[in-house]
Amino acid sequence: MKLITVIPDLVAKINEELPPEIRLWSIIRVQNSFNARTTCDSRKYTYFFPSYLMIPPKPGSGLWNSLKAQGAECAPHPFWENAESTATPQEATCLPGGRAGAGAFPEEA
């Protein structure tokens, strides 16, 4: 791709068109053999997900029953302590691979 680099404030004009989470820092002319994907020395990724994904399934729910049927080990979790359930306190948390939900919330650390 040929790029005209004599436009004043080209970086600023490009950044105006980009969403705020994507920024152009500078423009540098390179040789035709340059490949940005394979030649880069670092990358930075940020992933966002809602905090409710850290909550283990509610005891007695369909997901909880499915995980229990698959043999996942269960341990109590403070989030569900006051929740109405037919499950016993020992079955309060059930995560894949038999992991208990302890440490999922900052106040537990």
For the chain, the domains span 10-39, 54-101
Pinpoint the alpha helices (H) of the chain: 10-17, 36-39, 62-69
pLDDT digits (tens, 9 = 90+) for 37-78: 888 888 888 888 888 788 888 888 888 888 889 988 766 678
What are the angstrom distances between the C-alpha of 18 and each of 11, 29, 43, 67, 76? 11, 21, 19, 43, 46
pLDDT for 51 equals 82
pTM attached to this predicted model = 0.34
